[in-house]
Structures are given as C-alpha cells and as structure tokens.
C-alpha cells in the first residue's frame, strides 16, 4: 500500500482508462461496491465514470486521502 499521497496519485496516473472496482465505507458495518473506469486524476481527487447498468449517476470522485485512510479500497481488473 502506498504511504504518501504523491505515490497514490502516481500509481493512479499510470492506470487511467482501466476498469476498476471501488469499495467504500458507507456506515458502521456497511460497504458499497461500485464498478467503473478511472477517467481522470487531479491534484487532490480522481474521477471514476461508473457503470450505468449498476448506478443511477454517471461519475463519482474520491480524494487520495480516502485511499490513504482506508475509507475506500480500489481494485483494478486484471
């Protein structure tokens, strides 16, 4: 697991356009699973275009600190 925000951004920069799954904490013992494509990275956030068959909205953004603090988990399809 990357230990700094710069490392996280660098790893995501190299995977733009790839399919991924984001597992996010949605409460005390709840998680949500979203599938999509890593579309863009910005200095503080990254944007995921979501699969329209599963979600009612098109895009979602997360901050790199979400990964660092383990509020979300990102798994790329191999």
Mean pLDDT, contiguous 10-residue spans, the chain (78 residues):
83 95 90 93 95 84 93 90
CB atoms within 10 A of CB 69: 10
pLDDT at residue 12, as a whole number:
95
Q: What is the pLDDT of residue 2?
A: 61
Number of Cβ within 10 Å of residue 73's Cβ equals 15
Instruction: Assign a CATH topology to domain 5-76.
Output: SH3 type barrels. (2.30.30)
**Whole-angstrom distance, CA of residue 33 vs CA of residue 23:** 5
| CA angle, 72 then 39 then 59, to 5° | 65
Question: What does the block give as tokens for 48?
Answer: 């995921």
Q: Domain residues of the chain, as ranges? A: 5-76
């Amino acid at each position: 697991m990357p230990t700094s925000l710069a490392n996280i951004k660098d790893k995501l920069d190299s995977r733009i356009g790839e399919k991924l799954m984001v597992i996010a904490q949605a409460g005390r013992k709840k998680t949500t699973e979203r599938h999509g494509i890593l579309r863009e990275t910005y200095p503080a956030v990254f944007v995921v275009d979501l699969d329209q068959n599963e979600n009612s909205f098109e895009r979602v953004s997360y901050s790199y600190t979400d990964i660092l603090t383990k509020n979300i988990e990102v798994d790329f399809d191999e």
